[in-house]
Homo-oligomer: A and B are copies of this chain.
Amino acid sequence: MTLNTILLAVGPSDNDRADALAEAVVEVAKPTGADVVIAHVFTESEFAKTAKRLEFDEDADPDEVAKRHQTVRTMTKLFDDAGVDYTIRGAMGEHAAEIIDLATEVEADRVVVGGRKRSPTGKAVFGSVAQAVMLDAPCPVTFVRGENGNGN
């Protein structure tokens, strides 16, 4: 019953809720002393686009691209301020499957994922990535709902 490792899963739509995600992790990682693995998963096309924007080659190391990503940098600033230890991982592939593989590989005791409440059209949504991770992760999963720009 000891919490040693938290996998914080980050995708391309998490920039708006980077603070909320990082805060939810700090609340648990700081008192437990758990290590955080920040995992940024890119699909192939997301990776190509992000690598280009950040002036990497297309065959760049996903870990290096993840480290430069704005969402990850927002989070690491909060972790540095809070004194929480972290490592950064990048991965390429299908989001849910890569998150589950990483959670298994790092023997995560908790996965933290983000999501939102409403689609741009106002419909209540629950993300398929978050749902797939919850159904198959090797450990409990914490869902952090971000604000969604329409006051809800």
Contacts and interface: CB of A to CB of B under 8 A. Distances in A.
Nearest to A82: B1
A126 interface: yes
Contacts of A3: 27-28, 31
Main secondary structure on A side of the interface with B: mixed
A142 interface: yes
Interface string A108-152: 011010010100000010100011001111001111110000000
For this chain, the copies found in one complex come to 2
Nearest to A127: B134
A123 B126 CA distance: 19
A contact residues, range: 20 to 34
Contacts of A26: 1
A30 interface: yes
Given A2-B27, A137-B145, 14 more contacts: A1-B23, A1-B30, A27-B32, A27-B109, A32-B32, A115-B134, A124-B135, A126-B126, A126-B134, A131-B131, A134-B143, A135-B145, A140-B145, A142-B143
